[in-house]
């Protein structure tokens, strides 16, 4: 079995589900002929035709509205926004309509739509192409927010998102699109939503992360192991709703918690996790909960973005700080 990248796993999952379910429709800017800005939909137009792979005008509000309309009429649209910084014109449709549809109709209608978008820094692009504003959607009742961090998880989680009867925001870390390859069986097996994945078992500190920061966090854990610190690494994967049971069980074992995310610090998901850990695992903590995050600024251009993204060294420094806490 050939190894594939994360973006190829996205394509594979879309093709599988479109073959299995004729109600699955892909739409967005340049998703057809060009295969999407990162080529995540490459080849789908040839396989499934223009009725199921729809190029749209450059109008994100329209994309959001079309997707909601399709979903409430029995289709399963997968709508792509080219970058997270372009999703905001569709926020009215996503928050005021997709997220509220089940409640508004008292369960008579659901809205099985997936809103996909590349997100995050690290590709040397202007700020509208580098945003990590997942907390906006995680704060919104009625939405799931899912963030894969490997080819296998991208494949399984996207299948689960398409099959979910309610709206899912599916954020794809653009920095990881072609970072690594894995064997990904094209077997149609979905991974569970709303569940953390423990990527590394440890006893000294719990490192909680998601998306592109899984890369740096695992690298930091490897370096910490060489320095005598045994870190457990948890990939949250679904940041809304949060699987706090897995996180709390880990913290109760290790006694220490560091949360790593690329998004700005203030009101980020790290603050929510830190609050939950402090409220529910206080007596297990041997040190304060710490966060390693992006900054409360627009992502800087080009080479400066490396200073914005939490580094392996920043993670290591914080871990050593709490290991010395008495």
Catalytic residue IDs: 129
Interhelix angle 244-254/269-280, nearest 10 degrees: 60
Measured at the CA of 160, the angle between CA 85 and CA 155, to 5 degrees, comes to 75
Interhelix angle 312-323/213-226, nearest 10 degrees: 50
On the 0-12 / 13-18 / 19+ scale of CB atoms within 10 A, 223 is middle
Task: For tokens 């290591």, name the residue.
Answer: 316
Extract the tokens encoding 249. Answer: 């069980």
Q: Cβ neighbours of residue 140 under 8 Å, at least 6 residues apart?
A: 94, 95, 99
Task: Reduce the DSSP state of residue 14 to 3 states and report it.
Answer: helix
Task: Reduce the DSSP state of residue 271 to 3 states and report it.
Answer: helix
Task: Report the C-alpha gap between 250 and 231 in whole angstroms.
Answer: 10
Rg of the chain, C-alpha, whole Å: 20
Task: Report the C-alpha gap between 190 and 16 in whole angstroms.
Answer: 11
Q: Which residue from 51, 36, 134, 37 is spatially nearest to 94, judged by alpha carbons?
A: 134
Element (H, E) at 3: strand 3-4
Q: Cβ neighbours of residue 292 under 8 Å, at least 6 residues apart?
A: 258, 259, 260, 261, 310, 314, 315, 318
């Amino acid at each position: 079995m050939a190894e594939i990248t994360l973006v190829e796993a996205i394509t594979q999952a879309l093709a599988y589900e479109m073959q299995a379910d004729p109600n699955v429709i892909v739409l967005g800017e340049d998703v057809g002929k060009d295969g999407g800005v990162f080529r995540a939909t490459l080849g789908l137009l040839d396989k499934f035709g223009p009725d199921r792979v729809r190029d749209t005008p450059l109008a994100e509000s329209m994309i959001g509205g079309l997707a909601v309309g399709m979903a409430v009429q029995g289709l399963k649209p997968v709508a792509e926004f080219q970058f997270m910084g372009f999703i905001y014109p569709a926020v009215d449709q996503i928050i005021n309509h997709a997220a509220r549809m089940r409640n508004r109709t008292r369960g008579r209608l659901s809205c099985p739509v997936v809103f996909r978008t590349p997100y995050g820094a690290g590709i040397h692009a202007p700020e509208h192409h580098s945003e990590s504003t997942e907390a906006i959607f995680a704060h919104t009742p009625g939405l799931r927010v899912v963030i894969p961090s490997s080819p296998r998880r991208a494949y399984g989680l996207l299948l689960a998102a398409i099959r979910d009867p309610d709206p899912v925001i599916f954020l794809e870390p653009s920095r990881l699109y072609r970072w690594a390859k894995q064997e990904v069986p094209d077997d149609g097996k979905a991974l569970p939503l709303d569940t953390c994945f423990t990527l590394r078992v440890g006893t000294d500190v719990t490192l909680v992360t998601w998306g592109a920061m899984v890369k740096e966090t695992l690298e930091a854990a490897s370096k910490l192991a060489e320095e005598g610190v045994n870190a457990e690494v948890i990939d949250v994967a679904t940041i809304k709703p949060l699987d706090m049971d897995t996180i709390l069980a880990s913290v109760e074992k290790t006694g220490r918690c560091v949360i790593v995310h690329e998004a700005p610090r203030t009101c980020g998901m790290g603050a929510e996790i830190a609050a939950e850990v402090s409220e529910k695992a206080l007596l297990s903590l041997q040190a304060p909960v710490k966060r390693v995050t992006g900054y409360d600024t627009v992502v800087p251009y080009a080479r400066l973005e490396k200073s914005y993204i939490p580094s392996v060294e920043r993670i290591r420094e914080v871990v050593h700080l709490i290991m010395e806490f008495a």
